[in-house]
Amino acid sequence: MAPSSKSLRVLIPSDTGQRFSCQSCTQCCRNLVVDLTDRDRKQIEAGGWKRRLDVDPYVRLGGKWVLNKDEQGRCVFLSDAGRCRIHEQQGFDAKPLACRLFPFTLSPVGHSVRAGWRFDCPTVARSQGKPMDADEDALGVLARELLGGRGRAKVEIQLKTGLPAQSAETGHLVGILDRWLRDGQRSPTDRLRGAIWLTSTLQDAQLEAVREERFVELVELLVAALPAELSANVPSTPTSRQLRMLRQLAFAHTGHVSFAEMQAGWGRSLACRWTQLCFSRRFRNGRGPVPSVIGNNGGEADFADVDRVQPDNGQADRLNECVLRYLRGKLQTRTCFGPAYYGWAVLDGLSVLWLSVAVIGWWARYFAAIRQTEAFGLEDLVRALGVVDAGAGRIPILGSSAERLRLRFLQANQGIASLVERYSLWPSR
């Protein structure tokens, strides 16, 4: 269907197999801090919500206006029956823009916008509902509201740090990696190992002298060499330093400051920082009980318990499908590099994406361990994807120079391949 004059053209990759229709689980109403636009606040004022709720419907937080929350961290508009009061009484269009958009994301590309989706919505992680492009028209209208009716000027994306990418280069690399990841003739382990090897080989190459058609030829040559490289380069066991870095990265993904902490005065906020520092040390040491860093997680486990957990062989197909859909979605929507990922260069963003598989693998094992089982399945993976994707591209520390240093260290020592193999998301061959 052609977009209406009130919408912008939205680019939505349609062949990742991703589906979504909201299941009203209310997880976003509990977990998100919702920024408000001026229009959102006017709408809430016009609805007389302060009087109806008997509490401030929105508050000032970190220099922004956001929806207020109750003591349990739930949106003040969430009723006891688990429904949004604005939606129920004034309709979907009266809700704040961020609520109408979630779990989609929109990034300007010239005069269009590119859609992405967030795996901290469990329905996205489980891929339930309609194909993603079924929402194209509705997203076009939201895109117009978000961007004021126009795409923005071209955003420069770098191939490597300091080296601007030609759009054909990025498109070709994304296309080749996507083709490699969906090649059902190869095991998921080989597909991921191949993607890691290709990315690190390009990272090491002198790309300044290999541009445009020559870059495309180089990528094709490397892909042709991949099968031989995979047999010759089996990842080694990760070193204790690499394992320590992985645990620290797993902890960094939980670095959301809660709504209550953001509202607390400086004294409480100092106490929170001290607690975070202690937790960070415990993740680095990797001994004893894992600190409870993600709220009410439903159990306890030691670091050693987490390391004993393996993927559930009986759920291998479902685990494979979910992780490959996650990786291909991130790749095709280009939310793993450039403006959607702290402005990082394509090859750095890709390295982080492959490394995120090990982080997801660590959290999936943790969720199985707190259930006191030694095999993780799809629901543990869904929770792990939620932890990792809630933070990626959003928590400031993950885009910091310290994270770049961590990445450089792991890139230089084949640490990414070793960690991804150690915390594999599927049973080994």
23 binds ligand SF4 (CB under 6 A): yes
Structure tokens at 116: 């992405």
To which residue do tokens 């890139």 refer?
411
25 binds ligand SF4 (CB under 6 A): yes
Q: How many Å apart are CA 399 and CA 67, to the nearest integer?
A: 26
Q: Which of the residues 111 through 130 are near ligand SF4 (CB under 6 A)? A: 121, 123
Nearer to ligand SF4, 22 or 304 (CB): 22
Nearer to ligand SF4, 121 or 353 (CB): 121
Identify the residue among 12, 28, 67, 390 touching ligand SF4 (CB under 6 A).
28
Nearer to ligand SF4, 14 or 23 (CB): 23
- Per-residue mark of binding to ligand SF4, 268-307 (x: CB under 6 A): ----------------------------------------
Q: How many Å apart are CA 406 and CA 398, to the nearest integer?
A: 10
Q: Which residue from 107, 114, 18 is spatially nearest to 328, judged by alpha carbons?
A: 18
- Site size toward ligand SF4 (CB under 6 A) is 11
Q: How many Å apart are CA 203 and CA 151, to the nearest integer?
A: 31
Structure tokens at 169: 């280069």
Nearer to ligand SF4, 25 or 271 (CB): 25
Nearer to ligand SF4, 264 or 378 (CB): 378
To which residue do tokens 């601007």 refer?
164
Q: Which of the residues 30 through 49 are near ligand SF4 (CB under 6 A)? A: none
Identify the residue among 49, 58, 77, 102 touching ligand SF4 (CB under 6 A).
102
Nearer to ligand SF4, 79 or 269 (CB): 79
Share in percent of the chain as helix, strand, coil (round to 5): 55, 10, 35
22 binds ligand SF4 (CB under 6 A): yes
26 binds ligand SF4 (CB under 6 A): yes
**Interstrand relation of 112-117 and 130-131 (parallel, antiparallel or unpaired):** unpaired
To which residue do tokens 């390295």 refer?
351
Torsion angles phi and psi, residue 422, rounded to 5: -65, -40
Rg (CA), the chain: 22
Query: Given the rule CB under 6 A, which residues bind ligand SF4?
Result: 22-28, 102-103, 121, 123
